[in-house]
């Protein structure tokens, strides 16, 4: 049996907590070969990012990676020595020693895990401790995997080591039907399909980095999200339902996402206006999420962080689009109902929009897919919408 455990920043924030993590690792290591992937101490990566901004507004992304990757090096070393101090065989391996990355600095992809030395250590009974988030590019430089990337490191390493499973220890007890801070009756799911988890994560539920779930699906790696602080079973992320002896539930949960802004173009109806707008955004590397069209308007959403660039790109292409004015609204939020068969069961989608209409929540845009029905609503109505949908689909305790 071989297990990868991953601990998030809250679990690693300070020596006391690292000692607690060491006890969990010790317990696991009594019955399996054990590899531990760690995050930086909570808040540390933000602090390092801030230093970069202060040092140089336009900094070299390769040097940014050198700086921000350091937080995980600290926690990996500290955990390894804490384990040794408790009498275990343990050692750290740095990202550059085993994780080959490619793509852009600051948001690199995992290319390959060189598992040789690591595999040997595990077979010899040593607990391996690895900093998440970091790897090495083909040029031999340090790269990081994007914010929250330690989850992806853990799944990639688990796959590379052919581990039996990957357990993600975090500061929440698992995946919930919705954010318990919005709806106190939110229930912890015992299991959730990886595809639904991907939708929940993409729709704003930030338990795991989205990419880690995609990777778990591709690698067929069983994943569990569980609390580092309570001895509870957590949520199993099922990548293979045929093997899981469980009936698939229709609706898994409700997610709220405040990261998008609405862009509104006044543009007369003519062929190609949407294409022209999307092309203008694409030339800046920007993609849109939700789209709504009216006779004299074209609405869509972009990430808030890209809003200024999007408006500029659209302005540059205003003749091609035929737009007379462009405005934006960042007081919007996307509410998504995630579950299997949303599009193929029309009653499910109808119910989503019925519930919103019932509560008089204005609908600014909508999208439907097989696994998700999303509604864009005014920011101040999002909590009402989440609670109403949670109740209507009977997701609570
Ligand atoms: N420490 C990094 C971050 O805060 C990576 C991680 O924790 O997953 O984004
Ligand atoms: Mg995280």
Q: What percent of the chain has pLDDT over 70?
A: 97
pLDDT score, position 203: 63
Average pLDDT over residues 128-157: 97
Q: Which of 326, 265, 272, 275 is nearest to 296 (CA)?
A: 265
Q: Which ligand is nearest to the CA of 70?
A: 1
Which residues does 132 contact at the CB level (< 8 Å), separation at least 6? 6, 37, 38, 39, 72, 145, 149, 150, 151, 152, 153, 154
> Residue 225 pairs with which residues in a beta bridge?
168, 235
**Cα 47 to middle of ligand 1, angstroms:** 11
Q: Which of 137, 304, 144, 164 is nearest to 221 (CA)?
A: 164
Indicate whether 10 pLDDT > 80: yes
Q: Any idea where the domains of the chain sit in the sequence? A: 2-171
Indicate whether 131 pLDDT > 90: yes
Secondary structure (3-state) at 23: helix
For ligand 1, mutation pick of 10, 133, 135 (most atoms within 8 Å of CB): 133
Indicate whether 38 pLDDT > 70: yes
Residues whose Cβ atom is located within 5 A of ion ligand 2: 8, 148
Indicate whether 345 pLDDT > 90: no
pLDDT score, position 36: 98
**Among 3.40.1370.10, 3.40.1160.10, 3.30.43.10, 3.40.630.30, what is the CATH number of 2-171?**
3.40.1160.10
> Residue 143 pairs with which residues in a beta bridge?
135
Q: What percent of the chain has pLDDT over 90?
A: 78
Indicate whether 249 pLDDT > 90: no
- Per-residue pLDDT reduced to its tens digit, 274-288: 999 999 999 988 889
Atom 6 in ligand 1: which residue has the minimum CA distance? 148
Q: Is 62 exposed, middle or buried (0-12, 13-18, 19+ CB in 10 A)?
A: middle
Which residues does 374 contact at the CB level (< 8 Å), separation at least 6? 203, 290, 334, 335, 336, 337, 366, 367, 368
Q: What is the mean pLDDT of the chain?
A: 93
Q: What is the pTM of this model?
A: 0.84
Q: Is 50 exposed, middle or buried (0-12, 13-18, 19+ CB in 10 A)?
A: exposed
CB 178 less than 6 A from any atom of ligand 1? no
Sheet containing strand 323-329, edge to edge, reads 291-294, 297-303, 260-267, 323-329
CB 174 less than 6 A from any atom of ligand 1? no
Q: Is 183 exposed, middle or buried (0-12, 13-18, 19+ CB in 10 A)?
A: buried
**Cα 328 to middle of ligand 2, angstroms:** 31
Indicate whether 268 pLDDT > 90: no
Q: How far apart are CA 177 and CA 133, in angstroms?
A: 28
The ligand 1 atom nearest the CA atom of 209: 8
**Cα 351 to middle of ligand 1, angstroms:** 38
Indicate whether 240 pLDDT > 80: no
Helix (H) or strand (E) holding 222: none
> Residue 300 pairs with which residues in a beta bridge?
263, 291
Average pLDDT over residues 36-48: 98
The ligand 1 atom nearest the CA atom of 146: 9
Residue, of 293 and 169, whose pLDDT is higher? 169
Average pLDDT over residues 72-83: 98
Work out whether the CA dihedral 306, 309, 313, 314 comes out positive or negative.
positive
CB 106 less than 6 A from any atom of ligand 1? no
Tokens (6 digits) for 158: 């688990």
Residue, of 4 and 270, whose pLDDT is higher? 4
- Per-residue pLDDT reduced to its tens digit, 164-220: 999 999 988 899 999 888 999 999 999 998 889 888 876 666 788 888 999 999 999
pLDDT score, position 346: 86
Indicate whether 15 pLDDT > 60: yes
């Amino acid at each position: 049996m071989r297990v990868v455990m991953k601990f998030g920043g809250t679990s690693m924030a300070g020596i006391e907590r690292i000692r607690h993590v060491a006890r969990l690792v010790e317990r696991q290591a009594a019955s399996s070969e054990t590899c531990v992937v760690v995050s930086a101490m909570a808040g540390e990566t933000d602090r390092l990012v801030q230093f970069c901004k202060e040092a140089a507004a336009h900094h070299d992304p390769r040097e940014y990676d050198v700086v921000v990757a350091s937080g995980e090096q600290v926690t990996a070393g500290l955990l390894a020595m804490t384990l040794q101090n408790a009498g275990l065989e343990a050692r750290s391996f740095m990202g550059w020693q085993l994780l080959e990355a490619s793509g852009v600095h600051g948001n690199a992809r995992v290319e390959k895990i060189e598992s040789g030395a690591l595999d040997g250590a595990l077979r010899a009974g040593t607990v391996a401790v690895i900093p998440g988030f970091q790897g090495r590019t083909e040029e031999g430089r340090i790269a990081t995997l994007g914010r929250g990337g330690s989850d992806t490191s853990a799944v990639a390493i688990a796959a590379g080591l052919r581990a039996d499973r990957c357990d993600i220890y975090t500061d929440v007890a698992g995946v919930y039907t919705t954010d318990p801070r919005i709806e106190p009756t939110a229930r912890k799911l015992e299991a959730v399909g990886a595809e639904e988890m991907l939708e929940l994560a993409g729709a704003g539920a930030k338990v795991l980095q989205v990419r880690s779930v995609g990777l778990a699906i591709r690698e067929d790696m069983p994943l569990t999200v569980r609390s580092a602080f309570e001895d509870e079973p957590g949520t199993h992320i099922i990548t293979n339902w045929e093997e899981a002896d469980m009936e698939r539930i229709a609706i898994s949960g409700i997610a709220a996402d405040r990261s998008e802004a609405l862009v509104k173009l006044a543009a007369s109806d003519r062929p190609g206006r949407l294409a022209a707008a999307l092309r203008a955004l694409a030339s800046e590397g920007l993609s849109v999420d939700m789209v709504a069209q009216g006779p004299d308007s074209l609405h869509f959403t972009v990430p808030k962080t890209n809003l200024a660039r999007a408006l500029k790109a659209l302005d540059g292409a205003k003749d091609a689009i035929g737009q007379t004015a462009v405005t934006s609204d960042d007081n919007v939020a996307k509410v998504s109902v995630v579950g299997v068969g949303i599009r193929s069961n029309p009653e499910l989608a109808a119910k989503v929009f019925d519930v919103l209409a019932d509560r008089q929540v204005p609908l600014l845009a909508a999208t439907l897919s097989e696994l998700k029905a999303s509604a864009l609503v005014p920011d101040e109505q999002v909590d009402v919408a989440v609670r109403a949908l949670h109740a209507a689909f009977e997701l609570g305790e």
